[in-house]
Structure 1
Amino acid sequence: MIIEEEISNFIMVWSVAITLFCYSYIIGKFIPKGILRFMAIFPSILILLLLPLRLTTVYLIGPSSLLLSWLSTFKLLLFAFSSKGPLSSNPPLSFPHFLLIASFPIKFQDKVESNHNQIKVTSLNWSNKLLVIFILCSFFIHLYDDDKKQNFHPIILMTLYTLQMYTGLEIFLASITVIIGKLFKVELEQPFNKPHLSTSVQDFWGRRWNIMVTRILHPTVYKPMVKACSHVVGRKWAPLPAVIVTFAVSALMHELIFYYLKHEKGAWEGWEPCWDSMCFFLIHGVCLALQIAHKKVFEPKHELLPRVMSCILTMTFVVSTGICLFVPALVRSSVFVKARTESTAFVHFVKNVYVQHTCPLST
Structure 2
Amino acid sequence: MEGEMRNLIIVWLSAFASLSYCYIIDKITPKALSIRLFAILPTICLLLILPLNLHSIIVSGFTIFFLVCLTNLKLLLFAFDKGPLSSHHPPLNFPHFIAIAFFPIKIIQQKSIKNGHKSSPNFASQFLLLIAILPIYIDKENVHQNVILFLYCIDVYIILDLFLHMVRDLVKFLIGVELEPNFNKPHLSTSLQDFWGHRWNVMVSDILRSAAYNPMRSISSRLIGEKWAKYPAILATFFVSGLMHELQLYYYGREKPRWDVMCFFLLHGICVNIEIALKSNFKGKWRQGFPRMVAAPLVVVFTLVTASWLFMPGMLRNGVDVKVRNEIIGFKEYVEGYFKALYLCFQQVW
- Give yes or no for the alignment of 1:132 onto 2:123: no
- Tell me which of 328, 337, 341 is aligned to 2:322: 337
Looking at structure 2, the residues matched to 333 and 205 of structure 1 have their Cα atoms a distance apart, in angstroms, of 28
Q: What residue in structure 2 maps to residue 317 of structure 1?
A: 302
- Give yes or no for the alignment of 1:280 onto 2:264: yes
- Give yes or no for the alignment of 1:18 onto 2:16: yes
Looking at structure 1, the residues matched to 11 and 124 of structure 2 have their Cα atoms a distance apart, in angstroms, of 31
CA, structure 1 residues 262+100, in 2 after alignment: closer, same or farther (shift >3 Å)? same
Counterpart residue type for residue 191 of structure 1? N
- Runs of 5+ unmatched residues, structure 2: none
> What's the TM-score once normalised by structure 1's chain length?
0.90
**Aligned-residue RMSD, C-alpha:** 1.8
Aligned residue for 1:236, secondary structure, equals: helix
Matches within 5 A, 1:53-132: 53-83=52-82, 85-90=83-88, 91-111=90-110, 112-114=112-114, 116=116, 122-124=119-121, 126-132=122-128
Looking at structure 2, the residues matched to 4 and 140 of structure 1 have their Cα atoms a distance apart, in angstroms, of 32
Looking at structure 2, the residues matched to 137 and 183 of structure 1 have their Cα atoms a distance apart, in angstroms, of 34
Q: 1:170 Cα shift? A: 0.9
The 8 Å contact of residues 258 and 333 in structure 1, kept in 2 or not, is answered as no
- Tell me which of 195, 208, 211 is aligned to 1:220: 211
Could you tell me the percent identity over the aligned residues?
42
Looking at structure 1, the residues matched to 240 and 53 of structure 2 have their Cα atoms a distance apart, in angstroms, of 24
Looking at structure 2, the residues matched to 341 and 78 of structure 1 have their Cα atoms a distance apart, in angstroms, of 38
Q: 1:296 Cα shift? A: 3.4
Looking at structure 2, the residues matched to 59 and 317 of structure 1 have their Cα atoms a distance apart, in angstroms, of 28
Looking at structure 2, the residues matched to 86 and 331 of structure 1 have their Cα atoms a distance apart, in angstroms, of 32
Looking at structure 2, the residues matched to 55 and 138 of structure 1 have their Cα atoms a distance apart, in angstroms, of 28
- Tell me which of 154, 161, 171 is aligned to 2:152: 161
Q: 1:182 Cα shift? A: 2.6
The 8 Å contact of residues 280 and 325 in structure 1, kept in 2 or not, is answered as yes
Residue deviations 1:289-310 (CA, integer Å, cap 9, x gap)? 1122223344554334221101
Q: 1:149 Cα shift? A: 2.8
The 8 Å contact of residues 106 and 177 in structure 1, kept in 2 or not, is answered as yes
Residue deviations 1:40-78 (CA, integer Å, cap 9, x gap)? 000100111111111111111110000000000000011
Looking at structure 2, the residues matched to 92 and 307 of structure 1 have their Cα atoms a distance apart, in angstroms, of 40
Counterpart residue type for residue 125 of structure 2? K
Q: 1:159 Cα shift? A: 1.7
- Tell me which of 260, 277, 284 is aligned to 2:251: 260
Looking at structure 1, the residues matched to 216 and 304 of structure 2 have their Cα atoms a distance apart, in angstroms, of 28
Residue deviations 1:118-144 (CA, integer Å, cap 9, x gap)? x67x524x1332233234445654x2x
The 8 Å contact of residues 189 and 292 in structure 2, kept in 1 or not, is answered as no
Q: What residue in structure 2 maps to residue 266 of structure 1?
A: none
Counterpart residue type for residue 310 of structure 1? A
Looking at structure 1, the residues matched to 281 and 193 of structure 2 have their Cα atoms a distance apart, in angstroms, of 16
Aligned residue for 1:168, secondary structure, equals: helix
The 8 Å contact of residues 261 and 315 in structure 2, kept in 1 or not, is answered as no
Looking at structure 2, the residues matched to 139 and 7 of structure 1 have their Cα atoms a distance apart, in angstroms, of 30
> What's the TM-score once normalised by structure 2's chain length?
0.93
Aligned residue for 1:123, secondary structure, equals: coil
The 8 Å contact of residues 131 and 171 in structure 1, kept in 2 or not, is answered as no
The 8 Å contact of residues 6 and 55 in structure 1, kept in 2 or not, is answered as yes
- Runs of 5+ unmatched residues, structure 1: 264-270
Q: 1:165 Cα shift? A: 1.6
Aligned residue for 1:334, secondary structure, equals: helix
Q: 1:113 Cα shift? A: 3.6
Moved more, 176-185 or 217-226: 176-185
Residue deviations 1:82-127 (CA, integer Å, cap 9, x gap)? 24x11111231001110111111111100244365xx67x524x13
Matches within 5 A, 1:5-44: 5-31=3-29, 32-44=31-43
Looking at secondary structure, tell me which structure has more helix per residue: 2
The 8 Å contact of residues 191 and 289 in structure 2, kept in 1 or not, is answered as no
- Tell me which of 161, 165, 170 is aligned to 2:161: 170
The 8 Å contact of residues 262 and 334 in structure 1, kept in 2 or not, is answered as no
Q: What residue in structure 2 maps to residue 268 of structure 1?
A: none
CA, structure 1 residues 213+33, in 2 after alignment: closer, same or farther (shift >3 Å)? farther
The number of equivalent residue pairs is: 343
Counterpart residue type for residue 105 of structure 1? P
